[in-house]
Amino acid sequence: MFQGMMSTLKMSPLNLQSLAGILLILVVCWLFSENRRRFPFFLTIGAIGLQLALVLALFGVPAIRAGLTNFGAVFDGLAKSAQAGVAFVFGFLSGVGPQPYPLTTPGALFVFGFRVLPVIMVVCTLAALLWHWHILKWITKAFGFVFSRTMGLRGPTALAAAATIFMGQVEGPIIIRAYLNRLTRSELFLLITVGMACVSGSTMVAYVTILQGVLPAAAAHILTASIISAPAGILVARILVPRDSAAEAAQDKMPPDERVYKSSMDAIMKGIHDGTQIAVNVAACLIVFVALVAMVNMMLGSLPQVAGAPISVERILGYVFSPVAWALGIQVSEIQTAGQLLGTKMMLTEFTAFIKLGAIPAAEMTGRTRTIMTYALCGFANVASVGINLAGYSVLLPERRDEVIKMVVKAMLAGFIATCMSAALVGAIPAAITAMPG
């Protein structure tokens, strides 16, 4: 099964560069650990081994690889279904069907508010329905079992971390809401970090919609990125805030599921409500943060030009994050562009970064760089998510709000590091494994 694949396993200088990046990430996390004497060696082996096993299985096993390739059709179907609803409500503004005016710029039909935000609402509703039908619940429990066995997490923490992959950074912990107050500080930090490192099922489809046409098998890469970033988030969190085994000796009894729907229609209506809130939050964050950056760029524009170009937030972020881009295995000629994307992801949102990535023509960025950046950007670790987590956990865990406030920024940085670790891991594997057919 792996014969042809293994025969092409030759490490290039860029693969070695990514491998060095993984080691550098681990060293940096150890330096900032709250207890450097308790470095989790076995967890490191288990987490990286699980990530590697998942990548090898998803991209190396022919049957799974074919399934992932076809998975793009599912995402495409969801996007088209959402567009049908948008077209019914907004008509030609949706970009679907004949236009009342001559079309001179085809690209202008892609309006984020009509093409991406409705997808979030539809998928969020579908996720609620699949949860009510126990399909998503059993998938979540399967991943929770894997996390529990391979990385030593307690049952509730493993279940919530697994749920986060599909449901989102605040929605995932809801299923263990009755247990949240019994989590140790290390476990709570871990849960917030994993939430920052992953994305939700609704946003996955939105990212695929943005990247279609510039990244082959975008759906497969987005799905894989969110899955393998969970073990990375667990590892980074455990290094920064080591496990407290004595505190974990408390009760391990699993609480009942908190997310309960009375019927399929109840699941649909609540899914619509949740999806609408998420879509509105995404739109609001994009409007405000893009406006703030534009405001700062106007002020920076009054300064003298540097190297023949005006100073901007994007250029500054590009220089600041260029070393990070190099550590991921990006070739030197593209680290400035990659650094800008990384900075945009953290300071604005991953949506803004994905929009910028999708706008880069295929001829202006190598496939390797585009793939690595897809993994690095696929996570909720940004400044806006700090506020989202504070608001969410203030409702879920009001008695520990002050504790969450103290750790949420650190968790954002940990989530950012986790996505970078996932990207470096993919970059360290020869392209024969990670390249998916278009």
Which residue has tokens 């989590």? Answer: 183
- 91 in the Ramachandran plot: left (φ > 0), alpha (ψ -120 to 50) or beta? left
CA distance 131 to 136: 5
CA distance 278 to 119: 11
Q: CA nearest 411: which of 264, 247, 267, 198?
A: 198
Q: CA nearest 238: which of 250, 228, 226, 230?
A: 230
Predicted confidence at residue 334, as pLDDT, reads: 92
- Determine the number of helices (DSSP H) and then strands (DSSP E) in the chain: 19, 0
CA distance 268 to 256: 22
8 A C-beta contact, residue 390 and residue 192: no
Domain ranges of the chain: 10-94+108-285+375-434
Residues lower than pLDDT 50 in the chain:
1-8, 432-434, 436-438
Predicted confidence at residue 43, as pLDDT, reads: 87
Q: Classify 306 as helix, strand or coil.
A: strand
- How does DSSP assign 77-131, residue by residue? HHHHHHHHHHHHHHGGGGS-S--SS--S-GGGG--HHHHTHHHHHHHHHHHHHHH
**Two structure tokens written together for 22:** 């993984």
CA distance 418 to 198: 9
Predicted confidence at residue 184, as pLDDT, reads: 86
8 A C-beta contact, residue 244 and residue 233: no
Helices 401-428 and 335-347 cross at an angle (nearest 10°) of 160
Predicted confidence at residue 392, as pLDDT, reads: 74
CA distance 419 to 233: 8
Q: How many angstroms separate the Cα of 29 from the Cα of each of 97, 318, 418, 419?
A: 52, 23, 10, 14
Predicted confidence at residue 19, as pLDDT, reads: 92
8 A C-beta contact, residue 407 and residue 187: no
What global pTM score does this model have? 0.80
Predicted confidence at residue 359, as pLDDT, reads: 87
**Two structure tokens written together for 34:** 């709250």
**Two structure tokens written together for 10:** 């030759």
197 DSSP 8-state letter: H
Q: What are phi and psi of 387, to 5 degrees?
A: -65, -40
Q: What is the dihedral of CA 164, 168, 171, 172, to 10 degrees?
A: 0
Residue type at 285?
C
